[in-house]
Amino acid sequence: MAAEAISKDVGEIYSRLFDHKPVIQGEINYFIKEFEEKRQDREVERLHKMAYHMEELNNKVMPECHNNMEKYLGDIEAKIKAATYMCNKVTEKEAALNSDELLKSSRAARVKEWSEFIEEMCEKSKAVDDNHEEQAQKLLNHYKELEENLHIVPSPYGTPSK
C-alpha cells in the first residue's frame, strides 16, 4: 500500500512538472479567441492586401526592373571598367613617381641646380662689389682732382675752407 501511494504521488508530481498539455491547451484557446473574436478578420484582410501587393510587384515592378537592368547594366559595366582602368593608371603613375630611384635623381638634380645658383649669385655679388669699389675709387679720384684744381684744403670738420 505504501508503494502504491508513493507511486501515485510520484505520478501526480510528474504530471504537474512535466505534463504541460492543460497549460498549452489554455494558451491555444486564448489565441484562437483573440484571433477569431477580437480581431474579426482584420488579419485576413491584411493578408489579402499583402497578397495583392505581392502579385502587383511580381507582375508589374519586377519585369520593369528586369528590363531596366538589361538595358543599362551593359553601359554601367563598361563605365566601371573604364573607371577601373583609369584608377589603375593613376596608381601606376603614383607608384612611378614615388619610386626611390626617381626621388634620388630629382634630389641630385635639385642639389646641383642649387649649387649652380649659389655660385652664380656669388659671382654676381662679387661683380657688384667690384663695380662699387671701382665707382667709389673714381669718385674719390674725381674729388681729389677737384680739390687740387681749386686749391681747396680739406677741413677737419668736413666742410671745405678757402
Reading the block at residue 141, the C-alpha cell is 679720384
pLDDT score of 128: 95
Record the pTM.
0.32
CA 105 to CA 111: how far, in whole Å? Answer: 10
Q: What does residue 161 show for φ and ψ, rounded to 5 degrees?
A: -120, 150
**CB within 8 A of 118, min separation 6: which ones?**
none
pLDDT score of 160: 55
pLDDT score of 159: 58
Q: Where are the domains of the chain?
A: 21-98
* Region at 65 (left for phi over 0; alpha for psi -120 to 50; beta for the rest): alpha
**CB within 8 A of 161, min separation 6: which ones?**
152, 153, 155
Contact 117, 125 (CB under 8 A): no
Q: What tens-digit pLDDT sequence spans the chain (162 residues)?
A: 788 888 888 888 887 777 778 878 888 888 888 777 776 677 778 888 999 999 998 899 899 988 988 888 888 899 999 999 999 999 988 877 777 777 788 889 999 999 999 999 999 999 999 999 999 999 999 999 988 888 766 666 655 554
